């Protein structure tokens, strides 16, 4: 993992540990590490020709949760769907690969994600899926790029030029993600 990525993760966890006033929950008194070894172990679980979104862990920060995950998008003809999340902010950091990322606009064929599925229960909470986005903002993304996606903003990789792996930091102000979740593959 690059020094920049380690620094970004350290900053997220350091800022998230700052004391907050009038909070109902107490923030942790120690930092949480997500090692490059853990990121790589989870990334290896992704199908080479497909799409994967794997939560690594969810940490209770007192007033909110922070989740760390790793995602994979294949350049091979895997179907890339659009999505928006009702309550969770996502921060993507592209580790490798490149593609065209679209945000905003109107989702095509929008349908709610299944309330009992992994997307809602473990990854991002209540969400809406779609087949594409119309009239969104497109940009080319590649290694080192960071994108901050607020709740309710549709997002989609309309094209993946080279297989992508990217880290995601998910800010969950409503504690809808499973607090203290650890990916089962890391418990072995």
Taking alpha carbons only, the member of 104, 122, 114 closest to residue 172 is 122
DSSP 8-55: HHHHHHHHHTS--TT-SSPPPSS-----HHHHHHHHTTS-TTSEEEEE
What is the chain's pLDDT, residue by residue, as a tens digit (188 residues)? 555 455 445 444 444 444 333 345 788 889 999 999 999 999 999 888 888 999 999 999 999 999 999 999 998 866 789 999 999 999 999 999 999 999 999 999 999 999 999 999 999 999 999 999 999 999 999 999 999 999 999 999 999 999 999 999 999 999 999 999 999 999 87
| pLDDT of the residue at 38 | 94
| pLDDT of the residue at 80 | 84
Give CA separation, 140 vs 72, 88, 106, 119, 157, in Å.
17, 23, 19, 26, 10
Residue 178 and residue 78: Cα distance in Å, rounded?
29
| pLDDT of the residue at 17 | 45
Residue 63 and residue 47: Cα distance in Å, rounded?
35
Q: Domain limits of the chain?
A: 3-186
Q: What share of the chain is helix, strand, coil (3-state, %, to 5)?
A: 15, 40, 40
| pLDDT of the residue at 25 | 79
Contact (CB, 8 A) for 181 and 122:
yes
Residue 56 and residue 171: Cα distance in Å, rounded?
14
Fold classified for 3-186: Jelly Rolls (2.60.120)
pTM exceeding 0.95: no
pLDDT tens-digit readout, 45-76: 988 888 899 999 999 999 999 999 999 999 88
| pLDDT of the residue at 9 | 52
């Amino acid at each position: 993992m690059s020094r920049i990525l380690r620094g970004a993760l350290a900053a997220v966890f350091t800022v998230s540990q700052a004391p907050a006033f009038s909070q109902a929950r107490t923030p942790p008194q120690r930092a949480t590490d997500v090692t490059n070894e853990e990121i790589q172990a989870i990334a290896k679980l992704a199908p080479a020709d497909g799409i994967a979104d794997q939560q690594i862990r969810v940490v209770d920060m007192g007033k909110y949760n922070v989740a760390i995950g790793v995602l994979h998008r294949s350049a091979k003809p895997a179907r890339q769907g659009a999505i928006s999340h009702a309550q969770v902010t996502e921060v993507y950091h592209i580790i490798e690969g490149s593609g065209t990322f679209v945000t905003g606009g109107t989702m095509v064929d929008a349908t709610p994600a299944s309330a009992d599925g992994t997307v809602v229960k473990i990854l991002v909470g209540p969400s809406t899926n779609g087949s594409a986005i119309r009239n969104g903002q497109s940009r080319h993304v590649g290694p080192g790029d960071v994108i901050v996606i607020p709740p309710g903003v549709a997002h989609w990789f309309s094209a993946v030029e080279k297989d992508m792996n990217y880290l995601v930091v998910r800010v969950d102000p409503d504690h809808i993600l499973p607090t203290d979740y650890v990916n089962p593959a890391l418990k072995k």
